[in-house]
Amino acid sequence: MHDRESSAKVGERDVAFFAMEGEWLHQAGLAVEVCDENFLLKTACDLEGHADNAAAALFGGLQLALKYVPRDPMTVLATIEKTHYPTPFDIKKAKEAAAAVAAAGGAVSPLPGDEKSPVPSPRPGAKHGGKVMKPKTGDDAWMARGVPIPDNLKCVLFVPDEGMETSKAREVLPKTVSLADAVFNSARTALLVYAMNTAAAAAVVAEAGEGGTPAKAAEAVEDVLYRLLQDAMDDRLHQRFRAKLNPHLEPMKDAAQRAGALGVCLSGAGPAVLAFVMEHHCGEVAEALNTAAAECKKKGKVLVVAPAAGGAHTVPFAQERDDDGW
């Protein structure tokens, strides 16, 4: 392995190989099931340390990913029972099964008020025998949920010829961030999800309504994103620190927005620049980025692409088999 290879590439490559091996074994009848999505996501994130690249590479599009501690089954069942939430399974039998897991040494907490169970709760802060029980690192799980992207929203990218080591881009970041900056970015994440969901819904309503057309759907999307997207893409955690390594960012950001881009940012750690653009403005934004690049004396290429609808997947292929069936 090349020592300059990024952790993202290494982690995603290893998971891809693992997934392909699982698929091949499954097709050969040597494995009962192919690795499911949750397992692949956890494997990729454990290798890389975060889900920034792994979730999008595995599932495609815009992904909201996070790490969490799964709720223990007995607590979930108690909540369902108290709220009378309709379920397709028998609560009593489910509780018996969970209790059996606990009796066998599994990490299942007792029901609220049940003091007979000797099994401590793995929930953070839960007290048992004067001690605070904390979940093990291995109990952590990863979750990824896709955020809808309107069909007529495209990406215009400026990709410099000269790349940049991720490690170099990380060196300029501060070791800690202020509470105000953390809150600022958290709010923008929520706003981004809201903007994309609202725009996607507006497109459906505009096209499905009386006299609806794809053009009206595009107008509805643009109206929503024009008001929300750039604010949602504002950042205080990394772009201002990495701007010194990417002096082309601000000129390109201004040029793209003047040409009709709805939101512009540094792509990952840089040096590429990403602009979200309505399809009918892609040509103007691409030209603006090329002009800005020339003024900055930054060599590179401009790409107009659509967000991927799907992520990594295996593609069946036909090949000649040997006598032994392989």
Beta bridge mates, 131: 128
pLDDT value of residue 86? 67
Judged by DSSP in three states, 62 sits in strand
Q: From CA 5, how far away is CA 282, in angstroms rounded?
A: 32
Would you give per-residue pLDDT tens digits along the chain (326 residues)?
344 445 555 555 555 655 555 555 555 554 445 556 777 888 888 887 788 888 888 888 899 988 887 777 777 777 777 776 666 667 777 777 767 766 665 544 444 444 444 333 333 333 333 333 344 444 578 889 899 998 889 999 999 998 888 889 889 999 999 999 999 999 999 999 999 999 999 988 888 888 888 888 888 999 999 999 989 999 999 999 999 999 999 999 999 999 999 999 999 888 999 999 999 999 999 999 999 999 999 999 999 999 888 887 766 665 555 555 55
pLDDT value, residue 18: 57
Which bin fits 113, alpha (ψ -120 to 50), beta or left (φ > 0)?
Answer: left
User: Kind and range of the H or E element at 193?
Assistant: helix 179-208
Is this prediction's pTM over 0.75? Answer: no
- Within 10 Å of residue 277's Cβ, how many Cβ atoms? 26
Residue 309 DSSP code:
S
Taking residue 18's Cβ as centre, other Cβ atoms within 10 Å add up to: 16
CA 142 to chain centre: 10
In angstroms, the CA 50 to CA 67 distance is 8
